[in-house]
A and B are shown apart, each in its own frame.
Chain A
Amino acid sequence: MSEIAEYIIAALLLVGGFFTLVGAIGLARLPDFFTRLHGPTKATTVGVGAIMLASVLHFSVNHDGIGISEILITVFLFMTAPVSANILAKAAMHIGVKSMDDTRGKPWEQ
């Protein structure tokens, strides 16, 4: 395997791990439900996407063929992350989860 590919794969892995970790830190640390929603939808999705990309590169450099499954999983995650965030936000608004004190604007009631 070439040196450059190895460096790129290692960098992608580290970036992916970092974003996954940051998403989880956001989930654990941010003050209310609606702000917590931001961490997983963006950081974790990007993190897993980077790890998938590293996997695609690794297998296409080492063995034959490129992994379509990884790309399918990534596309699927990118398509479903906003949907689950949206439906969770709706559920939270329906239950009446408290938002942070200095949140400006109000969720509406339907």
Chain B
Amino acid sequence: MFDRLNFPQPWLSLLLFVIWQFLSDGISGASVVLGLFLAWLIPQITQGFWPQRPAFIHPWRMPMYLTRVLMDIIVASVSVARLILSPRAPRPMFVCYPLELEHPLAISILASTISLTPGTVSADVSDDNKTLLIHALDAQSEQEVIDAIKTRYEKPLLEMFK
């Protein structure tokens, strides 16, 4: 029993603890105790869902990446709004995107980024984690979509993950 009194994922535990403090009404003794308990319990229960430890090598680049994604989300929604309101029909396209990233967490971050940014939604990952199927709302050519994603999002992620 006592050998389980550890925190297998300290960052996840810290995040859970901080979020619990925000959720409860002000920091009090009770919320700290319950927060500590949850920060211990939830990583223990969900440990089986993490096949590999996330391996960040440059975690401090994450805020920069998130800022860029946030800016792109705003630009993306303006362009999508313009397309929705304009009378011309969109030119949709399915694109097969060759992945360079290998880590599952990195791939899911890239897929989420793609879904939130200009005119693209990631639809599926192939079973061997090598190809990402993307649906583009309004694309000129396949190569253009692939190049844009490669330079803007996959390069920074490649630098962050090993």
Contacts and interface: CB of A to CB of B under 8 A. Distances in A.
Interface in A33-57: 34-35, 37-39, 41-43, 45-47
Q: How large is the interface on A (under 10, 10 to 19, 20 to 34, 35 or more residues)?
A: 35 or more
Contacts of B137: 35, 38
Interface in B28-86: 73-74, 76-77, 80-81, 84-85
A102 B115 CA distance: 22
A29 B80 CA distance: 13
Contact of B22 (A31, A43, A69, A83): A69
B153 to A, nearest CB: 13
Contacts of B23: 68-69, 72
Interface in A78-110: 78-79, 81-83, 85-86, 89-90, 93, 99-100, 102-108, 110
Nearest to B89: A31
A25 interface: yes
Contacts of A110: 124, 126-127
A46 B121 contact: no
B94 interface: yes
Given A38-B121, A93-B123, 18 more contacts: A19-B81, A25-B85, A26-B80, A30-B84, A30-B90, A42-B116, A43-B80, A47-B77, A69-B23, A82-B116, A85-B121, A86-B121, A89-B123, A105-B94, A108-B96, A108-B124, A108-B126, A110-B126
Interface of B: 19, 22-23, 73-74, 76-77, 80-81, 84-85, 89-96, 111-116, 119, 121-124, 126-127, 133, 135, 137, 142
